[in-house]
Amino acid sequence: MDARILLLGANGLLGKAFAAEFQQRGIVAVCLDRAGCDVGDIDQVLAVFDRIAPALAINCTAYTKVDLAEKERDQAFAINAQAVENIAVACRAHRTRLIHFSTDFVFDGTAATPYQPADKTNALGVYGESKLQGELLLEEINPPGWLIVRTSWLFGATGPCFPKTILERARKGQPLKIVNDQIGCPTYAPDLAAATLNLMDKNVSGIHHITNSGQCTWFEFARAIVTEFGINADIQPTTTAAFREVRPNQAVRPAYSVLGDRELSALLGRSMRPWQETLASYRAAWMER
């Protein structure tokens, strides 16, 4: 893999996972946070690309506040769409390969089997719409060898995520009511980073789905988390409808957003490990913080 790698969004959960994977593989990369490159500013983006001339750019920047996006539409589209366009334009100008990350929220959740990369998209809320627009802009600009990776329910020990919230509340003895009628697949950020780099080593392009294998509800995920950490927590299942009565301004989420990719195992040479197995790795990383 070429050493001229540019990582954008280096301080985020996924960005930190990539930085750790680079270190483990002995890969040299320029890792920039927003202070190093404001991806919303096309002039800054072009200046960074002029200075570094990367062979590969990895975009880990994203607006991920699903509920707040309903009120902050402009901000969500600025980061998830306009900034993606800026990066794609710079990549095209410098003949730079681009990896960009998207989400299960580009689908409406009406399927009964895992969504494949070519399945019809239909985002339900502003967050999903903004991420889908970013995908479409990238495809339209068409930088060389681009790869869009859709993933779901991302978590890791280096940033805010569902497991962290569950653990913090459980350790305080707070009762938890977790929805049990939304189905997806948790994805461990280090696994996603490693698999993505493996795809790039094989010059894979286009749209692919990468998650850990299996599926669960948010309630099942929460219960597995506290079990892994040995916490005796009061966790009760609830429905999306009941949850929305308490939080009526919550964004609409897909009821079923499991992502599948029939080509992925062959491309990677193996299947992604089950999400349940990642929890021990998450606990070990959590303890090392």
Which of 179, 273, 282, 172 has the alpha carbon at shortest distance from 223? 179
Phi, psi (rounded to 5 degrees) for 131: -65, -40
Q: Is 63 a catalytic residue?
A: no
* Assigned token pair, 189: 């950020």
The answer to whether residues 154 and 14 touch, using CB atoms and an 8 Å cutoff, is yes
Number of Cβ within 10 Å of residue 209's Cβ equals 25
User: Among the options 63, 115, 127, 188, which is catalytic?
Assistant: 127
**What CA–CA distance (Å, rounded) separates 130 from 206?**
19
**Dist. CA 7–CA 10, nearest whole Å:** 6
Q: Do 187 and 275 form a contact (C-beta atoms < 8 A)?
A: yes
Q: Which residues are catalytic?
A: 127
